[in-house]
Structure formats: C-alpha cells, structure tokens
Amino acid sequence: MSFLSGPLILIYNPSFGRWPNLLKLNAETTCRFTRDRRRLSEAAAVVFHLPTMQGRDYPDRYPGQVWVARCMESTSNVPALADPEFMKRFDLTIGYWREASVWTTYFGALRPARLLSPPMEKTEPAPAAYFQSSAVDRSGRITLVRELMKRMRVDSYGRVLNTRALAQPDKGRPTKLAAIARHKFTLAFENAITRDYVTEKFFDPLIAGSVPVYLGAPNVVDYTPGEDCFINAADFDGPASLANYLNALGEDEAAYGKYLAWKARPLRPQFLLMLETTCIPGLHRLCPLVRGQDTGHGSVADGLSRWGHFRLAHWRGRSFSA
C-alpha cells in the first residue's frame, strides 16, 4: 500500500515552537502527516505535545480517532502526565518513560563508535564544567552547584551561575561538547528527579570523554553504556563530601582513568539493546501502531508487518555502523 493512501496523522501543536519534518515523515512512513488543523475531522490520529498544551483547550474528538500524548519532559514539569484521569483521554503515548507506547530516549540514533571515541587531553585548570541556561530547577541543582563552587573550581558556561565565557562562537551542541571535552568532569544535573528521565545532560559528557557527575533519575544506571562511567551525586551525603571526592580524584590520574576505561571495552549488551529499540524516531514508530488500530487489528506486530516502505534494517544501518 502506498503511503499516500495511509492513515492521516495530525500533529496538533509544535514541540516548543518546532514542528517535525513532515516531508521526511511522509517519505519514510506509510502514514500521511499534516499540521493543518482544518483536517482534524479527517485524521485517524492526533498527536498532542503535552508541555505546550498546558492551559490550552483540546479540540472536539471525532469518533474512532486515536489520540496520542507526546512528551519528553518529566512529570515534575508536566504534572498532567501523573494524572490518571487526564491521561485516560489518550490511546497512545510517546515519551521517555519505558511504559510509553512509543518509548523514546534522549540519545536518539546514537552510533556506538561515537561513544567509544577516545577522550581528549584535559587541558582546563578547572576540573568541572557546567552548562545551565534554564531557570527550571525542581532537583535542587542550582543550590548544589553553588555549594560545589565554594569548594572546587567549576567553569559554568551557561546563563545560570555563569563564571566562564565560551572560547568560540556558540553553535549549539557541538560547541558544548568541545568545551566539556577539555574538563575532567561535567556536572550533569537534571532539572527534575524522575525515573527514566535521563537527558542529554548525562549522555553529552559520555560522548565527549568527560566523566558525568550526575544528579537525576534514580535508575540512571539502567542507561549506562559501560561500567564505572559516571559518578552519582546521590551516593554522597552532601556537597562537601562530593567536592572532596572530585578534588582528590582529579589529582589521581590512575583512579580518574578508571572512569574512562569503559571507552576501550565493548558497550553493555543492555545498552546496545536500548539503542536498537529506540533508534527509530518516535513519530516513525507511531505510524505502525496507528495503522494497526486504523485497520481494526490493534496490534503493534500487525502494524509493523504492513510497514513495507520504511524498514527497521535501514535505521539499524544508519545507527549502528561505525
């Protein structure tokens, strides 16, 4: 079946001002995607980005329509996620939590070779780097960083607690990776502490070859690519003991090197399975679920079996080749 005759999926609102690439979605899936709300009555499914729907009215729902909740923000930042009555209105979910209909992660289509690239020489006098520009803080991260700064050198490059300007023009993530690669540690502090909410703050230093000092998801160990690859702030009884440990570790090259040794070993099988499970973008994986419900089968397996134009093997090749 040509994708031109597949079910219509309406992206009702953008994700913080950004719309997905509809041309790509329409070319690579057997569904038709649109952001034209005038086609609401035609849509087999409607996708709502919950964070930007907060405080807004939802449209009338048409019979047989599949409603999809999409969210990559924690329940602390989007309380509606934790409201069973509110969530009953949705048939499917796309999000960071493992129970989502379409589980998505913050590392996306990450190549293992990128994670395993050798670390750079640590040339910065300050052992730790920090990036924060958003004022959102439901984890206590600002207080923790401020207390650490009293006890160790921290180069803070973001707008919050800024102490250091970037050495080159800010071109987004590549500039951030280049900066933290020169530091032994990166303070990887989430804006909220929620299970499975493990963002790029954790993965960026792993890619760059800096050791993440992590504050966030209590099950972060489930997301680690190798053994002994990070330091968990929750293992310490306060900023003083954490700072003392980081200062001592930064002076002990042999002990510090153990936190980078994972880059010379194969990645954990559990992590590779996670990469393979989530390497296809969420909206692409939504299509077979909608097709299954649209045809009355309601089975993910049935939907996948009819997903002829866009194949998992294609994404495996893109995501797992070196």
pLDDT tens-digit profile of 165-212? 998 889 999 999 999 999 999 999 999 999 999 999 999 999 999 999
Give 297-317 pLDDT, tens digit per residue.
343 333 333 333 333 343 344
pLDDT of residue 108: 81
As a whole number, the mean pLDDT across the chain is: 90
Buried b (16+ CB within 10 A) or exposed e, 30-68: bbbbbeeeeebeebbbbbbbbbbbeeeeeeeeeeebbbb
pLDDT of residue 292: 83
Give 92-115 pLDDT, tens digit per residue.
999 999 999 999 999 888 899 999
pLDDT of residue 293: 63
pLDDT of residue 294: 54
> Nearest 5°: phi and psi at 45?
-145, 150
Beta strands in 159-205 (DSSP E): 185-189
pLDDT of residue 168: 85
